[in-house]
């Protein structure tokens, strides 16, 4: 998350372009075409291109999913959004090839959050993406064996290079949060990267200081 990770983001990795025309061209090159002129692409076997997107929460997640559905409809993809109970999430994600979820925001100010893609990082269980790469797991071990900031940054850069190549997931968007604070009373708000997007963040509260000593009346 660039807005929080700052220097830990590998500058050599470029995000995917939002290019609907290129996406349509790639689909047709892969053998998908609207054979019966019903605005839905058919595959080489003549079956409509129908995808199911798993969703576990409402709110802005559901709104983003609807945007995807509308965009993909313009590409000729019939997208079904399936809402499931949050308690069934951990089980159901392994039964679907595609799902939508919000990336955990804790530790985004450190490469530690990249361990989310380790093969057995969910308390010894496979990650949501069923992604496994021995080289990536080795880098997780290297990351956790050092507290040196430069070494952690370099390891994080290499981890991001692997993720960009393997693409275990496709980042869609980053949602900003607006927090109000009193800059006339306290200083230090902007010199640390928060772990939480609100004013009660422990890192921020331990860093801010009064602009001037409060005098007793």
Structure-token pair, residue 156: 């994080």
β pairing state of 78-83 and 50-55 = parallel
Rounded to whole angstroms, the Cα distance separating 10 from 8 reads 6
Q: Please give the Cα distance from 129 to 69 (Å, whole number).
A: 21
Task: Return d(Cα 123, Cα 152) in angstroms, integer.
Answer: 22
Residues 157 and 10 sit within 8 Å (Cβ to Cβ): yes
Rounded to whole angstroms, how far apart are CA atoms 1 and 215?
41
Q: What distance in Å separates the CA atoms of residue 22 and residue 71, rounded to the nearest whole number?
A: 13
Q: Which two tokens stand for residue 60?
A: 């802005």
CA 166 from chain centre, in angstroms, equals 15
The full DSSP string for the chain is -HHHHGGGS-TTPPPPP--HHHHHHHHHHTT-B-TTSSSS-B-TTS-B-EEEEEE---THHHHHHHHHHHHHHHHT-EEEEEE--GGGHHHHGGG-S-B--PPP-TTTTSGGGGGGGSTTTBTTB--TT----HHHHHHHHHHHT---HHHHHHHHHHHHHHHHHH-SS-------------TTTEE-GGGS--SSSSTT-HHHHHH-EESSPPPP-
- How do residues 171-200 score in pLDDT, each as one tens digit? 888 777 677 778 888 888 877 766 666 666
Beta pairing class for 209-210 and 186-187: antiparallel
Every domain of the chain and the residues it spans = 104-176, 177-217
Question: Whole-model pTM?
Answer: 0.77
pLDDT 10s digit of each residue in the chain, 217 long?
A: 776 777 899 999 988 888 999 999 999 999 999 999 999 999 999 999 999 999 887 778 888 999 999 999 999 999 999 988 888 887 888 888 888 877 655 556 788 889 989 998 877 888 888 899 999 999 999 999 999 999 999 999 999 999 999 999 888 887 776 777 788 888 888 777 666 666 667 777 888 889 876 555 5
């Amino acid at each position: 998350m660039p807005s929080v990770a700052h220097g830990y983001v590998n500058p050599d990795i470029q995000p995917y372009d939002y290019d609907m025309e290129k996406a349509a061209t790639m689909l047709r090159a892969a053998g998908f075409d609207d054979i019966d002129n019903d605005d839905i692409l058919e595959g080489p076997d003549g079956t409509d291109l129908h995808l199911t997107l798993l969703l576990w929460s409402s709110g802005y997640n559901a709104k983003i999913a609807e945007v995807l559905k509308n965009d993909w409809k313009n590409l000729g993809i019939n997208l079904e959004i399936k809402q499931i109970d949050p308690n069934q999430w951990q089980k159901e994600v392994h039964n679907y090839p595609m799902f939508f979820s919000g990336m955990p925001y804790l530790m985004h100010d450190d490469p530690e959050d990249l361990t989310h893609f380790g093969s057995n990082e969910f308390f010894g269980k496979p990650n949501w993406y069923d992604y496994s790469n021995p080289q990536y797991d080795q880098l997780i071990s290297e990351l956790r064996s050092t507290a040196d900031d430069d070494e952690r940054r370099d390891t994080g850069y290499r981890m991001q290079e692997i993720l960009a190549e393997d693409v275990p997931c496709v980042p869609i968007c980053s949602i900003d949060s607006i927090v109000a604070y009193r800059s006339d009373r306290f200083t230090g708000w902007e010199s640390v990267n928060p772990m939480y997007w609100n004013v009660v963040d422990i890192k921020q509260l331990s860093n801010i200081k009064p602009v001037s000593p409060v005098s007793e009346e």
